[in-house]
C-alpha cells in the first residue's frame, strides 16, 4: 500500500473512496471483537490491495479491531471491506457471543472493586 502514500501529503486515496462512499456493508454490523478468519487465499481476482491485505492478516483468527490496526484504516472502512469479503465467502466472522459465555456482571463489578481497593 506504500504506492498510495506520499510522505508529506499522506494517502492519495482517502479511506471512504476505498469503499465507494458506503458507510455500511450489506450484512449486520461487525463487532470490534468479532473474530475474522480467511476462507480464501490471496490473490483473488477483482480484489483491491486492502482486501488482499485483510486475507493475509486473517490467515489466523484476528479481531476486527486488530485488522483495522494492521491496515492502518478507520474501523468503519474495515467493517465495510470485511462485509464485502464475507458476502463473497472469503472470510468467516465469529461474533463475540458465539465465542462462549460472558462473565457475570456481578463478578466483573467485584473485580473492579477489588482493583480499586489495591
This prediction has a pTM of: 0.65
Q: What is the pLDDT of residue 66?
A: 94
Which three cell numbers, joined as nine digits, stand for 3?
504506492
Q: What is the pLDDT of residues 59-97, one digit of tens each?
A: 999 999 999 999 888 888 889 899 889 988 899 998 776
Angle between helices 49-57 and 75-87 (to 10 degrees): 80
Q: How far apart are CA 68 and CA 76, in angstroms?
A: 9
Angle between helices 64-71 and 75-87 (to 10 degrees): 110
* DSSP notation for 72-92: T--HHHHHHHHHHHHHTTSEE
Q: What is the pLDDT of residues 36-64, one digit of tens each?
A: 999 977 667 778 888 899 999 999 999 99
Instruction: Output phi, psi for 76, to 5 deg.
Output: -60, -40
Instruction: Output phi, psi for 94, to 5 deg.
Output: -105, 120
Residue 50 near residue 1 (C-beta atoms within 8 A): yes
Q: What is the pLDDT of residue 48?
A: 82
- In 3-state terms, what secondary structure has residue 96? helix
Amino acid at each position: 500500500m506504500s504506492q498510495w502514500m506520499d510522505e508529506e501529503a499522506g494517502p492519495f486515496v482517502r479511506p471512504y473512496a476505498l469503499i465507494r462512499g458506503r458507510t455500511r456493508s450489506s450484512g449486520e454490523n461487525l463487532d470490534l471483537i468479532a473474530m475474522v478468519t480467511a476462507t480464501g487465499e490471496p490473490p483473488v481476482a477483482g480484489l483491491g490491495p486492502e482486501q488482499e491485505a485483510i486475507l493475509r492478516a486473517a490467515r489466523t483468527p484476528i479481531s476486527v479491531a486488530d485488522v483495522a490496526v494492521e491496515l492502518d484504516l478507520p474501523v468503519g472502512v474495515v467493517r465495510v471491506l470485511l462485509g464485502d469479503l464475507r458476502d463473497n465467502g472469503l472470510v468467516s466472522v465469529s461474533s463475540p457471543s458465539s465465542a462462549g459465555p460472558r462473565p457475570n456482571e456481578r463478578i466483573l463489578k467485584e473485580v473492579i472493586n477489588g482493583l480499586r481497593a489495591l
